[in-house]
Structure formats: C-alpha cells, structure tokens
Structure 1
Amino acid sequence: MVEPVLKRFEAADETSTFELGRFEVVHLGGVTVGRASYEPGWIWSRHVGSLTGERWCRTPHVGLVVSGRNRVTMEDGRTIDMEPGDLFQIAPGHDSAVVGDEPYVSLHFVGADRYGVATREPIAPTR
C-alpha cells in the first residue's frame, strides 16, 4: 500500500534562485511539481536564459497561474497573456515576462524537473 505524502513548497526538495525569482520543486512519489515565483520586471531570457546560455526556454510547461500576470512570447512571434486561474500548456521555444507591478506565481505539473536546464544541470540549486 502506498502511504500518503504531504509536502509544502516552503520546505521544497530543491530551490533554484536567480535575480527577481525562484523556482521551488517538490517530489511526490513519481510526480514532480514546481512553483515559480517572479517579481515585477522578471524576464526569462534575461534572468534565467542568461545563466543557461539559452535565448529561448526549451522546456515544455503545463501549469496553473496562481497570481499575477505573465506574457509568453513564442519564437515565431505569437504572444500569450496569462492571468490568475488560467491553465496553460506552453511548447519549447518561448520567452516569458511578468506583466504589471504584481508578483507572478504559477504551479508547474509538466516541466518542473527541467526548469532552467540547458545541459541537465539546475541553476544555483539549494537544498
């Protein structure tokens, strides 16, 4: 029988921190869930991509916007504006930026295990 597991992001299994943001990861059995928290002015290509050497995020994401607003720009120029309550699926080849003056928080159900990875190494992990 599988025992219930209860975890909190405040005691995350892994945390990556970078300018204007952080990404926390918890492992629940075979499932990895992430929480992205970004301050106003955060842009993936500037604050994460510059650390990984990537212009565009190459990780697919499926998640839920908890608070704040975010704009995703795809390599082909399409944009997607996301707000609280939106469920999203974003393909590889995108940039992302906080919109407005409110912090942005989202939960990631796909892609959390590869967030900010250029060569399968996490950015500035802390435990």
Structure 2
Amino acid sequence: MSAVLEKSKLVRKSSDTPDEVRPFADNKGRLHVYELGDHIAGKGEFEPGWRWSQHVKPIAGTDSCQAAHTGFVIQGRMIVKMDDGSQMEYGAGDFFYMPPGHDAWVVGDERCVLVDVTGVAKYAKPH
C-alpha cells in the first residue's frame, strides 16, 4: 500500500492502477482497492456465479458479510439478502447502501461491476 497522503492535497488515481487487488475464491472476481488520502474506495468485479457465502466467506471467516457498503452499480445485477431474510436487487445505474449482516450474489450471465466507498478497508481481506 502507498504512503498516507496529506489531507490538504488533491488526489487522483486511475482505475487502471489500484493500490491493491484482492481476488475472490475460484477466480469469481476481485476487489480493486484505491487509497485516496484518508479514504479508501474500491471497484468490485463479480463474475457470473459469484456468491459472497461461497467466494468471500472463506476469506472473511464470518457467517455473513459484516461490512457496510455504499456506492454505485456500473454494470450487471446483484441480489443482497440480509440475515433477517429481507432482500433487494440492485442493477446498473443504482446507488446502494447495504448494511452489515448479508449474503449477496450475481444475477444472470453478466459480470457485476460496482464502486464501493465505505466497505472496502477489510473486505475480502484475510483476518
């Protein structure tokens, strides 16, 4: 990871040069991590067939995803199901908030690509 940047400096990062790439199990996608001063953002690429409980749970070591995610879906579709059984489908053009305590999976045969600005720091990172 790169050195911490000063808060008073402008930051620009190309999506082609992440600070870190975290692969998911079975080559079902990856999280590109970008350090932006005191903030961390991520671009998630989730392949068809990806499911959190199969492809990230072994990395996270928790029963459900414990990260809160806030962001925007660029491409594809994803269903998020909360531990309480409620669920919602998100698609290209949707902003989202996903509280901790959920499973998620890609819908259909198209890769889901999204930008996450809150749940990246420890996501898909071994504990």
Same fold, TM exceeding 0.5? yes
Tell me which residue corresponds to 2:47: 39
SS of corresponding position for 1:51: helix
Tell me which residue corresponds to 2:23: 17
Distance 2:106 2:63 in 1: 17
Q: Please tell me whether residue 97 in structure 1 is matched to residue 105 in structure 2.
A: yes
| Greater mean deviation of Cα atoms: 84-93 or 51-60 | 51-60
SS of corresponding position for 1:71: strand
Which residues in structure 2 correspond to 1:46-85 (within 5 Å)? 46-85=54-93
SS of corresponding position for 1:7: coil
Whether contact under 8 Å (1:68, 1:83) holds in the other structure is yes
| Greater mean deviation of Cα atoms: 8-17 or 109-118 | 109-118
Distance 2:84 2:48 in 1: 25
Tell me which residue corresponds to 2:11: 5
TM-score (norm 2): 0.87
Instruction: Report the CA distance between 1:114 and its aligned residue.
Output: 1.9
Q: Return the letter of the residue paired with 1:14.
A: E
* Runs of at least 5 residues in structure 1 that lack an aligned partner in the other structure: 120-127
CA displacement 1:39-71 (0-9 Å, x = unmatched): 100001100102222220001110100100000
* Superposed CA RMSD: 1.5
Instruction: Report the CA distance between 1:117 and its aligned residue.
Output: 4.3
TM-score (norm 1): 0.87
SS of corresponding position for 1:25: strand
Distance 2:29 2:106 in 1: 11
Q: Return the letter of the residue paired with 2:78.
A: N
Instruction: Report the CA distance between 1:118 and its aligned residue.
Output: 6.1
Distance 2:126 2:63 in 1: 11
Q: Return the letter of the residue paired with 1:4.
A: L
